[in-house]
């Protein structure tokens, strides 16, 4: 039997919610989804107009420049956590080996919550793996023994409990850990769980035996949507960008093959107006990633049309880049990305870029769900032939954001407005 999606809030707050606390131990450096989602909230018009206070507790070693960059509008950043968020992210060890980690993280969660024990506060968690869910459930349970229920927890589920690992024992172990952690969390008072992605929703609903709320992907604001819609109404013009890569430099996203791909595109795609764009951040000391970075810099010297963004881009910079992007190619690992979503794919869909898929992954299934135009190509050479055929023009579309499904409309809605809607539900009680 499937339980109802969201249990009623247990309201015990004298004052309405005027403070949102975001617990984000993974906020440590430029790059990735952690700073991107927070910047989206910091710039949210509806949150700033409401005079809400948003405080983010990030990692104690959070980059100082990142703290400064994110501290704007309604958002404040407080470096705090000492626990390494991704320490056990890919670990396949036995359950008991995580006990110390879970206890340490639970203590840190609990210490922050105790600072607000007499306040009506909404806590937001945009990223949790199973071990973080276990720690959070423990912290909430310990706190609720001694204080009134004035805390409300919104949990966004990002990671998939189902693994495509060829090792069935490891896959079963992963699923069991997710079920243990998120079952404990879902049973806590005043905790609501939300998902954005279609397959993830089905997997969590099956695992937990309950339906869930939905949340936006967090990559588009209402202003971005208006800009895209206004651009669609205009006469189609040439878009200059061919985007070969975006995001953290990762082997499983095809980063090591970029010099070969870039060389072929640079050689075969002629014309001075074309911009061949790559955006990436290198967040570890991998020699192979550094060597690719070195090769790309040399290739840029040889072709002035090549544009490398080797750092974190702001929300507005990403917006402008995509508004001018005609084509984007994905070369993601078929095992890792069978069950892993991609924010870059969502951006490509929203901005109506021509999408080319070199491998068969979750991305192929998602573009079909979103109703996007896309091409499956078997090689770099076939991708280039498609580019030569289509050119840089992007056909005018009557579809909103390039997609017409209800799923797409929810996925691409404004994260700040979604958060404000949840706060309003509390005020309505």
CATH of the domain at 112: 3.40.50.2000
CB 214 within 8 A of CB 406: no
327 within some domain:
yes
State how far the Cα of 315 lies from the Cα of 222, in Å rounded to an integer: 13
4 within some domain:
no
Q: In this predicted structure, what is the pLDDT of residue 51?
A: 86
Q: In this predicted structure, what is the pLDDT of residue 397?
A: 47
Please list the ranges in the chain whose pLDDT falls under 50.
1-5, 395-398, 400, 429
Residues 6+ apart with CB under 8 A from 332: 252, 253, 254, 342, 359, 361, 363
User: Do 238 and 334 fall into the same domain?
Assistant: yes
User: Do 71 and 194 fall into the same domain?
Assistant: yes
1 within some domain:
no
Q: In this predicted structure, what is the pLDDT of residue 396?
A: 42
Nearest 10 degrees: Cα torsion 315, 319, 321, 326: 150
User: Do 205 and 239 fall into the same domain?
Assistant: no
Q: In this predicted structure, what is the pLDDT of residue 345?
A: 98
| Alpha-helical segments (H) within 187-314 | 198-208, 222-233, 258-268, 287-302
Measure the N-to-C terminal CA separation of the chain; round to a whole number of Å.
28
Domain that holds residue 400: 234-405
Residues 6+ apart with CB under 8 A from 420: 44, 46, 47, 50
Beta bridge partners of 328: 243, 355
CB 244 within 8 A of CB 416: no
User: Do 301 and 324 fall into the same domain?
Assistant: yes
Q: In this predicted structure, what is the pLDDT of residue 365?
A: 97
3 within some domain:
no
The string of pLDDT tens digits covering residues 203-253 is: 999 999 999 999 999 999 888 888 888 887 665 556 789 999 999 999 999
- Describe the crossing of helices 168-186 and 130-143 by its angle, rounded to 10 degrees: 20
Number of domains in the chain: 2
Residues 6+ apart with CB under 8 A from 28: 34, 58, 59, 61, 62, 63, 85
227 within some domain:
no
User: Do 173 and 259 fall into the same domain?
Assistant: no
247: left (phi > 0), else alpha (psi -120 to 50), else beta? Answer: left
User: Do 204 and 252 fall into the same domain?
Assistant: no
39 within some domain:
yes
12 within some domain:
no
The string of pLDDT tens digits covering residues 271-308 is: 888 999 999 999 888 999 999 999 999 999 999 999 99
108 within some domain:
yes
Q: In this predicted structure, what is the pLDDT of residue 5?
A: 46
Q: In this predicted structure, what is the pLDDT of residue 4?
A: 43
């Amino acid at each position: 039997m499937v339980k109802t999606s969201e249990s009623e809030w247990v309201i015990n707050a004298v004052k309405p919610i005027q403070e949102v606390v975001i617990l984000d131990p993974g906020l440590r450096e430029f790059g990735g989804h952690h700073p991107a989602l927070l910047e989206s909230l910091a710039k949210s018009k509806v949150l700033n107009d409401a005079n809400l206070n948003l405080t983010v507790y990030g990692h104690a070693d959070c980059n100082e420049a990142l703290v400064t960059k994110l501290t704007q509008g309604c958002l404040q950043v407080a470096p705090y956590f000492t626990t390494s968020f991704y320490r056990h992210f890919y670990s396949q060890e036995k359950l008991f080996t995580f006990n110390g980690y879970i206890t340490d993280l639970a203590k840190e969660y609990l210490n922050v919550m105790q600072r607000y024990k007499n306040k009506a506060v909404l806590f937001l968690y945009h990223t949790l793996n199973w071990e973080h869910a276990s720690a959070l459930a423990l912290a909430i349970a310990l706190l609720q023994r001694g204080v009134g229920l004035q805390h409300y927890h919104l949990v966004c589920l990002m990671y998939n409990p189902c693994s495509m690992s060829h090792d069935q024992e490891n896959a079963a172990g992963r699923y069991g850990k997710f079920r243990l952690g998120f079952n404990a969390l879902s049973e806590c008072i005043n905790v609501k769980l939300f998902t954005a992605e279609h397959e993830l929703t089905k997997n969590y609903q099956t695992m937990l035996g309950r339906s869930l709320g939905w949340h936006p992907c967090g990559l588009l604001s209402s202003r971005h949507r208006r800009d895209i819609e206004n651009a669609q109404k205009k006469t189609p013009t040439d878009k200059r960008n061919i985007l070969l890569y975006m995001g953290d430099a990762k082997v499983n996203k095809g980063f090591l093959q970029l010099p070969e791909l870039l060389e072929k595109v640079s050689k075969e795609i002629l014309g001075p107006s074309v911009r061949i764009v790559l955006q990436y951040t290198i967040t570890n000391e991998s020699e192979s990633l550094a060597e690719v970075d070195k090769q790309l810099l040399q290739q840029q010297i040889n072709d002035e049309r090549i544009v490398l963004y080797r750092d974190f881009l702001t929300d507005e910079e990403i917006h402008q880049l995509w508004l001018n992007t005609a084509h984007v190619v994905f070369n993601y690992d078929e095992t890792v990305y069978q069950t892993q979503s991609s924010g870059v794919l969502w951006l490509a869909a929203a901005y109506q870029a021509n999408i080319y898929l070199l491998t068969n992954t979750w991305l192929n299934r998602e573009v079909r769900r979103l109703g996007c135009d896309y091409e499956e190509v078997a090689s770099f050479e076939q991708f280039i032939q498609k580019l030569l055929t289509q050119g840089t023009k992007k056909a005018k579309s009557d579809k909103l954001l390039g997609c017409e499904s209800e799923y797409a409309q929810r996925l691409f809605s404004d994260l700040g407005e979604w958060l404000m809607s949840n706060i309003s539900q509390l005020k309505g009680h």
